Amino acid sequence: MERPATLLKCRFGNVDQMQNHLHVVDGRMLFFYREGKVRLEGGSRVVIEFSFGDSEQVSPLRGWVLARVDTEGGNRGGWIEFPDTKLVKRIGEGRQGIAGRHQRRLGCDLLVEIKHQGYPRLARIIDVSLQSARVVGASGLESGAEVELRLIGAEPPLPPSLGRTQVVRADPGGDLAVRFVRSDVVARVAAGKLFAAVQEAWAAAPEMTHPPLCCQGGRVLEPTLPHMKART
């Protein structure tokens, strides 16, 4: 069974501080997460929820641990690699670039089977709300299609079946926005259970707070960037 992604929180005083800690290398984004109670193992998947002291906005991102750091400058933690640099571009626009949606959404990383006209596909749910979800890795589906979702390896309190959903947006790369069909009793109940389970998991997630002495006088307190292999 696939090991679930580790949920982590990181809180900055403002967006400018966060921008100092995001590094774009070879089209990928790197961020150093300073460890507390949770040990980050190389290659493990993580979801980090970034928040700010001067704003109610949050930005969840999925990535994986590229390299561990155990001793450099007293730092202990892991360099997290994110597959794209969209967040860097958004925060470059200021607070409006990370403006949240009206509906509360929670980041996650859940393996799911999508069944459409009897044909199953494996994909991942990467964020959820009480009414909808975002899915990646499900190519070949079009907007308007009705599909059934089933979580792979779900254990309580996660519901195994998410019932019927409708695709409301489909990008060519398999990035979907789906809405739970409210007339389907299974979907309606499962949507609430799924949101509550993810919310409970986030409530227990460890949080790293930006050190008060960091980003003072142009100094950023973090270890040296790791060596990155070129993409093939």
**Which candidate, 222, 212, 201, 200, places its Cα nearest to that of 11?**
212
For residues 40-49, average pLDDT: 93
Per-residue model confidence (pLDDT) at position 70? 87
Domains (ranges, CATH) in the chain? Answer: 6-102+205-209 (2.40.10.220), 106-203 (2.40.10.220)
DSSP assigned state of 125? E
Residue 94 has pLDDT above 80, yes or no: no
Q: How far is CA 127 from CA 76, 79, 159, in A?
A: 29, 23, 16
β-strands 6-12, 45-52 pairing: parallel
Residue 112 has pLDDT above 60, yes or no: yes
In degrees, to the nearest 5, what angle opens at C-alpha 19 toward C-alphas 45 and 93?
110
Per-residue model confidence (pLDDT) at position 122? 96
Q: Are 91 and 97 in contact (CB under 8 A)?
A: yes
Q: Tell me how far apart the alpha carbons of residues 195 and 105 are, in angstroms, rounded to a whole number.
A: 9
Per-residue model confidence (pLDDT) at position 101? 47
Tell me the residue type at 51.
Answer: S
Query: Pick the residue with more confidence: 22 or 85?
Result: 22
Q: Tell me how far apart the alpha carbons of residues 203 and 184 are, in angstroms, rounded to a whole number.
A: 29
The pLDDT tens digits of the residues spanning 144-200 come to: 999 999 999 999 999 999 999 999 999 988 899 999 999 999 999 999 999 999 999
Q: Tell me how far apart the alpha carbons of residues 132 and 174 are, in angstroms, rounded to a whole number.
A: 16
